[in-house]
Amino acid sequence: MIPRRQRSPGIADRPPRAATADAGTRERLLATGLDLARRDGIKSVSVRAVAAAAEVNLGSFVYHFGTRDAFVYELVDRWYAPLMAGLQLSAGSDDPLRGVLRQLGHWVAANGRFLAMLIRDAAAGEAGVRDFLATMDRRHIALLLDLIRQGQEAGRLARADPTLQLMFLMGSVVLPILMLQGQQGLGPEAFLKRLASLAGDEQAIDTRLDWALRGLAAVTEG
C-alpha cells in the first residue's frame, strides 16, 4: 500500500489571496473612517470621502458594508470594543465595581472629545451612532448593573434601585468630563478651565469615585 503524501501543516487553513485582500480592504476602510471621524465627527464620514482616503473604489465599500449607516455602526463598535474587553477583565478583580468604574472614567477622559462628538452626532440624527448607543444596555451598562447587584448581595453597597445607584456613580465619575467638552466661552474662562482640568485628571477621577462609593456603602451597625 502506497502511503499518502503528507501535506505541509496549515496549508488547508490558509485563506485564499482574494479573501486576504478583502480583509485588508475592509480594515483599511474602517481605519480610515475612524481617522476621519476622530478629526471632524461622523458627519465627515461620507462614503466618497472614506473610499477616496482609503484609495478604494465605491463598489468595494458597498461590497463590504452595504450602507453608510452599517459602516458607521461597525466603525463605532470597533472603537469601543477594546474598552469593553478591558472592563470585562477588570470585573474579575478583587474590587470589581471600583476597577470597572475607574477604567471607564480614565477612558472617557482620554476619549472625551470624540465621545462628545458622537453624542452630538446621535442627537443630530446619525442613525449608525444612534443604533450603536441603543445597545449600551447590553454592554458596559449591563456589566455595571450586575456588579452593583453583586455589591448589594455581598453587603458592600446599600440596598437600593441599582439603576439609581448607577446614575449617581456615573454622575460622579463620567458626567463631569462630558459636560465640560466644548464649553469654552460659556462661563468664566479661568473657572471653566479649572473645572475641565479636574474633571479629566486621573487622580481627581479616582477621588470622585472613592467619594461616590463611600456614599453608597452599606451602613453597618456599630
Q: What is the pLDDT of residue 158?
A: 97
Closest CA to 112 of 205, 189, 27: 205
Cα separation of 183 and 63, whole Å? Answer: 41
Confidence of residue 155 (pLDDT cuts 50, 70, 90): very high
Is residue 162's pLDDT more than 50?
A: yes
The three cell numbers locating residue 154: 455581598
Residue 28 pLDDT greater than 90, yes or no: yes
pLDDT-derived band at 184, boundaries 50, 70, 90: low
Around Cβ 98, how many Cβ atoms within 10 Å? Answer: 18
Pick left, alpha or beta for residue 41 (phi over 0 → left; psi -120 to 50 → alpha; otherwise beta): left
Greater model confidence, 115 or 1: 115
Question: What pLDDT score was predicted for residue 181?
Answer: 74
126 near 66, Cβ under 8 Å?
no
User: Of residues 83 and 182, which shows the higher confidence score?
Assistant: 83
Domain boundaries, the chain: 18-66, 81-216
Long-range contacts of 167-176, Cβ-Cβ distance < 8 Å, separation of 24 or more: 168/212, 168/215, 168/216, 169/101, 169/144, 169/209, 169/212, 169/213, 169/216, 172/208, 172/209, 172/211, 172/212, 173/101, 173/104, 173/105, 173/205, 173/208, 173/209, 173/212, 174/104, 174/105, 174/108, 176/208
pLDDT for the residue numbered 143: 98
Domain 18-66 annotated CATH 2.60.120: no
- Asked if residue 18 has pLDDT above 70, the reply is no
Q: How many other C-beta atoms can be found within 10 angstroms of the C-beta atom of residue 68? A: 19
pLDDT tens per residue, range 87-104: 999 999 999 999 999 999
Contacts of 122 (CB under 8 A, 6+ apart): 129, 130, 133
Hey, what CATH class is 81-216 in? mainly alpha
For residue range 33-48, list pLDDT tens digits in order.
Answer: 999 999 999 998 999 9
Give the pLDDT confidence score for residue 171 in this predicted structure. Answer: 96
Report the pLDDT value the prediction gives residue 16, as an integer from 0 to 100. Answer: 52
Decide if 18-66 and 81-216 have a common fold: no
pLDDT digits (tens, 9 = 90+) for 65-93: 999 999 999 999 999 999 999 999 999 99
Instruction: Give the integer Cα–Cα distance in Å for 129 and 186.
Output: 27
Per the listing, cell 472613592 goes with 210
State yes or no: pLDDT of 221 exceeds 60. no
